[in-house]
Structure 1
Amino acid sequence: MSDTSTADPRALIIGASRGLGLVLANELVRRGWQVIATARQSGGELQAAADASNGRLEVESLEMTSPKELAALNERLKGRRLDLLFVNAAIDRGDLSIAEVPTDMFTEVMVTNALSPLRALESLRGLVAPGGTVAVMSSDQGSISRNTEGGYELYKASKAALNQLMRSYATRHADDGQTKLLIDPGHNRTRLGGPDAPLTAEESIPAVVDVLEAQAGAPGLQFLDRHGEVVPW
């Protein structure tokens, strides 16, 4: 059944069980969006938010690193039309120099932070309406030109790889009419960002949504921070 008859904008958020993704889902609902949000496990804060949303937030199960589960989600959502597909997923395995990183850790971080977000876009992009937006949560840690301080080499490399793969995606799909965004939300106090980060998700995500709404319909790929300013590659 198609959902194109409603005027409310619709979003699918990949990775919304906690942190930035959860706050993003709640902020979009607050602004009148219909939101589908995914989590690897049922229950928790996301389900509680859905239960309290008067039907505006629904939860889907997804392990983003599984192509089989991505295909199954795409099949379940067939006929839905999205104005926004947002992929929010990343892991960090600590502040090691690259010489100290085991091969299996390197593979895990690269698969989760770079390969899987692009697989998600490729699997689900057909749900996004012409003129809609596909966006991925990146980080200024992925900016090569800003990498002037030491630390977190694997995480930085994974975000740079994510940005490069998104550039390739945008080149391949240049004529699809969809807005493409990489978003740097700033350094937030999440499980990933740590307890000493200067921002809370509740402070940064409303600004991120302002950027998403302001950029809707813009052509090409942009790498922007939460203020809508360009982040250097």
Structure 2
Amino acid sequence: MPERQALIIGASRGLGLVLATELVQRGWQVIATTRQNADGLQAIAETSPGHLKIESLEMTSTEELTALRERLTGHQLDLLFVNAAIDRGNLPIDKVPTDMFTEVMITNALSPLRALEALRGLVTPGGTVAVMSSEQGSISLNTEDGYELYKASKAALNQLMRSYATRHANDGHTKLLIDPGHNQTQLGGPNAPLTPKESIPAVVDVLEAQAGAPGLQFLDRHANPVPW
């Protein structure tokens, strides 16, 4: 069988870096994007020659997305995974400056969908299009104070992904929103209950098990549905 091929958008650190590592270890051919620091990805490339290709991308730039799409002409992806998000602190929404609101919404909601639209043509029939979401984006589970802007951006991401899935309902792609749990990353903080090395293998299990499933699903790392 030919090697499965994945493109991970946002893989320089944290969940994305561990995701790239896990896929390579499972025999996938991985293309991983980074904005600046690629030291972690370079280490994977050196220990797994020929299994990891590093591409530069600023996801919020439509020009860079177009250029990446052109560079990847001819690739056939079994998985397109967008993993990118920022957090600008725990402010009540009335204290959030307009430029901060715009930055978070562009990065966490608008840009992932722009990336999917720019790159979906590389995904094979029966392939998977996935985005890293969060339980924080669940409206029905929003019963605790805090992180209002981040929660809103993930809820917007989920809604836009629902629109994407409706618009492309007949393209033959599996579509997933993934909640990896609360992890010890730069975004999740040092006191989170999980580490990426604990959660990401389970996430990849879900990605592999759901390949070929129809429609859009919002799942946690155990393949349980997350309420919208």
Scaled by the length of structure 1, what TM-score is found? Answer: 0.97
Aligned to 1:33: 28
Over residues 86-124 of structure 1, what are the superposed CA-to-partner deviations in whole Å (9 max), with x where a residue is unaligned? 000000000000010000000000000000000000000
Deviation at 1:42, TM superposition (A): 4.9
Distance 1:97 1:11 in 2: 38
Over residues 13-72 of structure 1, what are the superposed CA-to-partner deviations in whole Å (9 max), with x where a residue is unaligned? 000000000000000000000000000015311122112211101100000000000000
Distance 1:100 1:158 in 2: 16
Distance 1:48 1:220 in 2: 36
For 1:224, give the aligned amino acid.
Answer: L
Note the aligned Cα RMSD (angstroms): 0.7
Distance 1:52 1:65 in 2: 30
Aligned to 1:170: 165
Distance 2:180 2:122 in 1: 25
- 1:102 counterpart = 2:102: no
For 2:124, give the aligned amino acid.
Answer: A
Aligned to 1:137: 132
Distance 2:24 2:150 in 1: 31
Aligned to 1:113: 108
Aligned to 1:230: 225
- 1:155 counterpart = 2:150: yes
Distance 2:101 2:79 in 1: 30
Aligned to 1:78: 73
Aligned to 2:191: 196
Aligned to 1:93: 88
Helix, strand or coil at the partner of 1:45 = helix
Contact 1:65 1:112 in 2 (8 A): yes
2:202 aligns with one of 198, 202, 207 = 207
Aligned to 2:38: 43
Distance 1:52 1:107 in 2: 39
Helix, strand or coil at the partner of 1:28 = helix
Query: Which sections of structure 2, spanning at least 5 residues, go unmatched?
Result: none
Give every structure 1 segment of 4 or more consecutive aligned residues whose post-TM-superposition deviation is greater than 3 Å: none
Distance 1:50 1:175 in 2: 36
Scaled by the length of structure 2, what TM-score is found? Answer: 0.99
Over residues 108-160 of structure 1, what are the superposed CA-to-partner deviations in whole Å (9 max), with x where a residue is unaligned? 00000000000000000000000000000000000000000000000000000
Distance 2:21 2:79 in 1: 15
Alignment coverage as a number of residue pairs: 228
For 2:75, give the aligned amino acid.
Answer: R
Distance 2:42 2:150 in 1: 29
Contact 1:15 1:37 in 2 (8 A): yes
Aligned to 1:3: none
Helix, strand or coil at the partner of 1:11 = strand
For 2:218, give the aligned amino acid.
Answer: F
Paired-residue identity, %:
80
Distance 1:27 1:34 in 2: 11
Helix, strand or coil at the partner of 1:183 = strand
Contact 1:82 1:128 in 2 (8 A): yes
